[in-house]
Each structure stands twice: as structure tokens, then as C-alpha cells.
Structure 1
Amino acid sequence: MSGDDVVERTEREHRPSPIDVHVGSRVRLRRTLLGMSQEKLGEALGLTFQQVQKYERGVNRIGASRLFDLSRVLDVPIGFFFDDMPPEMGGDKNRRFTGFQETQDGFEDDTLHRRETLELVRAYYRITDPSVRKRVFDLIKSLAPTE
């Protein structure tokens, strides 16, 4: 084996898996939607914010027990971390998680990543009265065009 082969193999072995990157981006998305800092998430999991950063970038793999802990702290089903996975990584492009319910049609890929969406979701969850929050939700649904 030549020195070039060793360097190429080492670089490939240290490159994050696309699945780990996707799962990490979903952790970051949900944490951001909740308005939670990396420090707060780390505290809840017994980790440093640097470890959370590595998970979110996909540099460190998230094991099954840690994924379970993340789903509890971030209040999402485990499947949320795999939603919107591209078909070439084994994902089902028709399955989406909207934050309110899982649907088959879902949103466009970039909708959840827009600043407007994040601000809207944060404002929605700051409404402390559940009946008011439900009325706001119903109002928004009534203003949207029917499908």
C-alpha cells in the first residue's frame, strides 16, 4: 500500500457520514426551533456545548441511547431526526415532520430553515395559554389555502 493510499483512506475514514450530518442538522433545527442554546442542550444531556456542536455537524456519531435522550429533551419522536432524508441516503422524500403532526405531503425542504419560520414557531410556543395557542393555530390554518 502506498503512502497516497493511506492518506486517501484516512481522509475518507475521518469524513462525517452523510447520515450523521443529516441527523446532526435535525438536532440543530429542533434545538433552534425551541430557542435553546447549545449550552442548555448540553446541560440537559450532561455534555459540553462543544460536544453538542460536534453532534450537530455530524463529526461525532450519535449513539442509540444518546438519540433517545435527545428525543426526550427536544420533545420529538426519534423518527424526527431521520425525516427529510434524501432518497439517496435511504430516506422517503414524501414523509415530513411539521412540528405539529407528521404528514405525507409536508413542507418544502427549506421552509423549516427560514428565519421567518423559526421566529413564528418561537412566538407560537411563547403563548402560555393552551386555548389561545389553539385558537392561533386554527386561525393560521383557516387563512391558508385549502389543498
Structure 2
Amino acid sequence: MLGLTQQHLANLIGVTYQQAHKYERGTNRVSAGRLYEIAEVLGVDVSYFYDGMEESESAIPARQRVCLDLARNFTRITNERHQNAVSQLCRTLADEA
């Protein structure tokens, strides 16, 4: 959502691109210390990574996929007016819920 590439994030936390990729894919576990570093780089509290854990496990992956897809596509929009329009559309739809 911040528009960081895996390479940029890897550089910020002091690991290789391959290691950051393994963290993202779940191939390698993230230690508590590394999770803290990642949270600091992203400007979030460590608890951010645990938000929504009380939801049913079957609902989490599908919702996360949709959110990640939305975030990736949003960051690919280069026109600022279009980004603002999409953002306003999301706010409007959320208010209707």
C-alpha cells in the first residue's frame, strides 16, 4: 500500500530481495525482532500484523487477497486525479455499507 517494492523493503530492513520474498510468501518465518524492524520501517505498530486475527480463518485469506489486489492496482494508477476518484469511490461505497 505504500508503493514499496520487495527490493526497497529488503534494503530498508537489511535483508536480500530473496529473503524478503520468502517472508512475504510465508516460505520463511519472520522472527519477532525482524517483525519489529519491518513495523518500524512501515511506520506501523507490530499489532498491525495481527489485526483481524479474531475473524474466522476461512474469511481472512480471501479478504486479504482482495485488499492486496486493490492496493497493487491502486499504486499502478499514475494519474493523481484518477487515484483521488478511486479513493472517493471507496469512501462513498464504505459509507453506504
Q: Could you tell me the TM-score, scaled by structure 1's length?
A: 0.45
Tell me which stretches of 4 or more aligned residues in structure 1 moved more than 3 Å: none
Larger Rg: 1
Q: Give the Å deviation of 1:117.
A: 4.0
Q: What code does the residue aligned with 2:20 have? A: V
- Summarize the alignment of residues 23-38 of structure 1 with structure 2, pairs less than 5 Å apart: 33-38=1-6
| Residue 146 (1) aligns with residue 84 (2) | no
Correspondence for 1:75: 43
Q: Distance in 2 between matches of 1:117 and 1:46?
A: 24
Q: Give the Å deviation of 1:35.
A: 2.1
Correspondence for 2:72: 118
Match for residue 46 of structure 1 among 7, 11, 14: 14
Q: Give the Å deviation of 1:73.
A: 1.1
Correspondence for 1:105: none
Q: Distance in 2 between matches of 1:65 and 1:117?
A: 26
Aligned length: 84
Q: What code does the residue aligned with 1:58 have? A: G
Q: Distance in 1 between matches of 2:71 and 2:24?
A: 20
Q: Give the Å deviation of 1:41.
A: 0.9
Distance 1:50 1:119, change over 3 A: same
Correspondence for 2:59: none
Q: What code does the residue aligned with 1:35 have? A: G
Structure 2: any 5+ residue segments left out of the alignment?
A: 57-61
RMSD: 2.9
Q: Could you tell me the TM-score, scaled by structure 2's length?
A: 0.63
Deviation sequence 1:118-139 (CA, Å, 0-9, x none): 333x279x96xxxxx7xx85x4
Q: Which has the higher contact order (CA 8 A, sep 6+)?
A: 2
Which one has the bigger helix percentage? 2
